[in-house]
Amino acid sequence: MLSLIMKKIIVVLFVFGLFIQFAKAQDAGLEKSIKGVQIGYPGIWAYYEPKLGGPVSLRVEAGLFSGYLRSSVYGKAGLISVPELTLEPRWYYNLSKLSLKSKKTAGNTGSFLALKMSYYPDWFVLTSLGELPTISHVAAIPKWGIRRSIGQHFDFEAGIGLGVRRVFFEKAGSGKDKTVAAGDLHLRFGYHF
């Protein structure tokens, strides 16, 4: 089992390395780095996004992921917020095209493809459902998105993707671990420094 996971990680890193080499060959208008805060559906985050090379950046974010939980495991339904830590390599694929049309690319304005890799630790749960056990999980979701700067410091992002989530029930003493399909839909407004 462990060797299969290691093989998958090596393949992902290899593909990501090829992806960066391809991206370095293109001219890009990415900022050297940006940092900021965003709020929206579904939660609130602080982020740092340095340029890796060409039109590729690595977004690092921490925040509270919020949503509506309806689960047969808990036998309840209601609002829930959990901590979220994310690494997300992004390829802004249309920056050259925007530059040629003399359109704005400041603040990493553009369309992107990304691989969102998130960890939801079992530190705490904020919920309207009363007391719930904390259960950690990880997710890997390829996605497409857009980022637009509004003025000099404000931004808007929207994205959608479909991937997998691994929920660690055994660690919490709640049953067997599960791998399930996971979606990502986000709409965020923010301020970048």
Q: Are 84 and 43 in contact (CB under 8 A)?
A: yes
Alpha helix segments (H runs only) across 29-186? 95-100, 169-172
**Best CA proximity match to 106, nearest among 190, 164, 30, 18:** 30
C-alpha torsion sign, points 116, 33, 12, 172 = negative
pLDDT digits (tens, 9 = 90+) for 129-174: 777 777 889 999 999 999 998 988 999 999 999 999 998 887 766 6
Q: Model's pTM, two decimal places?
A: 0.77
92-140: per-residue pLDDT in tens? Answer: 998 877 666 666 667 788 899 999 999 999 898 888 777 777 788 999 9
Tokens of 98: 């925007």
Indicate the domain borders of the chain. Answer: 2-192
pLDDT band at 26 (very low <50, low <70, confident <90, very high): very low
Alpha-carbon gap, residue 30 to 150, rounded angstroms: 16
The CATH architecture assigned to 2-192 reads Beta Barrel (2.40)
